Structure 1
């Protein structure tokens, strides 16, 4: 028979063990809850947590805009948006959208929503100083030439990878007027922001948000959100019809053609994910985040840097080149393209996911569509001839057109 002393001792040990387990489980939970309170409570959250999470505050961004306008009033910066932003009240602040290396603000301009962006770095971070005394001794013509030459020297690393003719860039970016020191500082600050450069170079290109102008290192662009696009990728839960999804897919195909034939070579999308696209009410697709898009010469320069033993080591996100295994170096032979990546990552579902723009098609075309998407989404060990994708492109387009 088990003694009473044994039972008491056993229970005591169990209770002690239970207490230890409780402490081990509850302690980290309490610490985690305290962390969440510090991070997410609007009155408690320290500024460093906000910045680490890409969060922002309206007060902080309003101060930022005030500083920009103060620089404009002092004649330090210039730009076509300075008066609407600082004097006329045409650009109305709505609220901040986020930080994280870049300030992003939603605003209203001429009764339409716009996105106002700027690098978090001060405009003076980009300035390459020119001696004021020397400038005062020069004639207006000589001073203008000196500033322009300085701008082009600073811009060389940005302009050359785009393969842009200097005269074309001068006309589009610098205009015909004589440049002031404020123009010089503004141009330096904008040349240091890749997204601005792409928006400027792609002005008038469909499927890219319009650039409305700039003031110092701040620029405003068309506001197109991904909020209306994301539900379309959930055909089971969304109310969008097959015809509407086809219209979006056809717009993606138009984007592929548009990006293949820019004045500066093909534009590669190296970060194809759902949140980087938006649609208009008319189902026109836009690439709303072009930070990781690159023209051909730019991408070749970037992608040939690493050493490699196999192709998957020659990737820059969704853009992949071929590895020369004998030399152990990535080549300029890029084996992915926009059409292939869209087929793989947007049109069809990934693994067990039910998401995908063209999942659950009408039964009449389901088999042919599945085959086409499989063929256009695959990658080989070698570069597949462009004619192969061109053929698939037209087959997919025709199949979608005839399905609605």
Structure 2
């Protein structure tokens, strides 16, 4: 906890510093006013932070999910997120697999559109999805403990010591061991790989056609990872622009 005697300006500087440490986004000083007003909307009304506000906000910013989820309100170090209906994959849902595929792609799209860098999700499974009437073309993540900014993912992996590749497998996020440094490399698979392997294949098996660009992204080996993402971005731009 910060010294209670520091000025509001110093406190806000420290909030920016802590947020950058948590997310590894490197936001500049001129972003701090926008950041603090986003994290603590009541500042619009009061233009100042009480000591209670300071203690509460400091506790909240130390919780990763508070920074990455849509927060509806808070009280002390507790916070509430929007209400979601848990999604539980059932065998008979395969009759709705085309609609589920759209939801998956709407969700995947947003991982590549988070602020100024992508997000990485390392615990991909249907049980971690929720549904909201407010978002008819995508799922929402129920548990964000395994969601990381790209900078934070890179920092975590490159700080991890290893003697073999499996030491660099962090749930669904995989890297390789650099034997010259005995530290992990950057991630070698991506969100698309994992969505395809763990979710799309569960619905469609190995069936795919080039006319369905979503399924082709999982199976068309003529494209490398960069081309695949570029192709998906193009499809997203006209089919899921309102996600």
- The CA distance in 2 between the partners of 1:270 and 1:147, in whole Å, is 33
Matches within 5 A, 1:101-180: 127-130=1-4, 135=5, 143-152=7-16, 155=19, 157-158=21-22, 161-166=24-29, 167=32, 168-174=34-40, 175-176=43-44, 177-180=47-50
Matched position secondary structure for 1:257 = helix
Matched position secondary structure for 1:163 = coil
2:101 to 225, 249, 256: 249
TM-score using structure 2 length? 0.76
Tell me the residue number matched to 1:381.
none
- The CA distance in 1 between the partners of 2:180 and 2:209, in whole Å, is 45
Instruction: Supply the RMSD in Å over aligned alpha carbons.
Output: 3.6
Structure 1: which 4+ aligned runs deviate by more than 6 Å? 394-397
Report the Cα offset of residue 287 of structure 1: 1.6
1:264 to 107, 116, 121: 116
1:312 to 166, 190, 207: 166
TM-score using structure 1 length? 0.48
2:155 to 273, 289, 301: 301
Higher relative contact order (CA 8 A, sep 6+): 2
In the alignment, is the contact (CA less than 8 A) between 2:20 and 2:27 conserved in 1? no
- The CA distance in 2 between the partners of 1:322 and 1:239, in whole Å, is 36
2:185 to 319, 331, 348: 331
In the alignment, is the contact (CA less than 8 A) between 2:20 and 2:26 conserved in 1? no
Matched position secondary structure for 2:73 = strand
- The CA distance in 1 between the partners of 2:148 and 2:163, in whole Å, is 24
Report the Cα offset of residue 339 of structure 1: 1.0
Mark the structure with the bigger radius of gyration.
1
1:341 aligned to 2:194? yes
Report the Cα offset of residue 280 of structure 1: 4.0
Q: Which stretches in structure 1 are left out of the alignment for 5+ residues?
A: 1-126, 136-141, 200-209, 349-355, 379-383, 398-404
Matches within 5 A, 1:37-56: none
Matched position secondary structure for 2:203 = coil
